[in-house]
Amino acid sequence: MVYMKNCEDLAFPQEIKKTKQREEIFRILSEETEPVSAVDIYNRLAQTCGNSNFAISTVYRALGIFEEKGYVSKSTLMGGDMAYYEWNYGTHKHYAICLKCHKLIALKKCPFEHMKIETENDNFMITGHKLELYGYCKECRIEDEDI
């Protein structure tokens, strides 16, 4: 995990070789406040750089490197079949996902920060976790009073 003092410190990681493509992918990830899929990134590249010389495999490969070095975290939202990627700003984030409109709402803080969790035999060393909440956002509850 890479820790930074604040968002202004955000820069392309030194340990990863810079290329035009990786810089663009980094820019998109760093501008984004929500997890994005590889295809999202690819489409956004097509918009900004013309539908020119970017390959989807380049996106996957760059994301793979970023993830391997701990700069990006990968997750599968809503048990879906596509992976979403998000730049790691030191502290991780969790989301609540509206079951109706699929909007993501960030949690104020990680509920596990100071929590002790017991596994079956109490002999598991926990190093990380993933959490997703499901439910209904304010707007969807107002629209549909059954909820």
Contact positions vs DNA (CB under 7 A): 17, 19-22, 37-39, 53-58, 60-62, 64-65, 81-83
Query: Shortest distance, CB of residue 63 to DNA, whole angstroms?
Result: 7
Running DSSP on this structure, what letter comes out for residue 91?
B
Closest CA to 46 of 59, 36, 35: 59
64's CB contacts (< 8 A; 6+ apart) are none
Long-range residue pairs from 29-33, CB within 8 A, at least 24 positions apart, any chain: 29/66, 29/72, 29/85, 29/86, 29/87, 30/87, 32/86, 32/87
Site for its own copies, rule CB under 8 A: 74-76, 79-81, 83, 96, 98-99, 105-109, 111-112, 115, 117-121, 123-138, 141, 147
Query: Shortest distance, CB of residue 59 to DNA, whole angstroms?
Result: 8
For 70, the enclosing helix (H) or strand (E) is none
Q: Considering CB distances under 5 to 8 angstroms, the limit depending on partner class, which of DNA, its own copies, none binds residue 109?
A: its own copies
5 versus 108: smaller Cβ distance to its own copies: 108
Residue 137, annotated ligand binder? Answer: yes
- Please calculate the CA angle 139-140-144 and round it to the nearest 5 degrees: 120
47 versus 127: smaller Cβ distance to its own copies: 127
23 versus 139: smaller Cβ distance to its own copies: 139
- Number of Cβ atoms within 10 Å of the Cβ of 125: 5
Query: Shortest distance, CB of residue 33 to its own copies, whole angstroms?
Result: 11
Which residues make up each annotated binding site for Fe cation? 92, 113, 129
Which residues make up each annotated binding site? 92, 98, 101, 113, 129, 137, 140
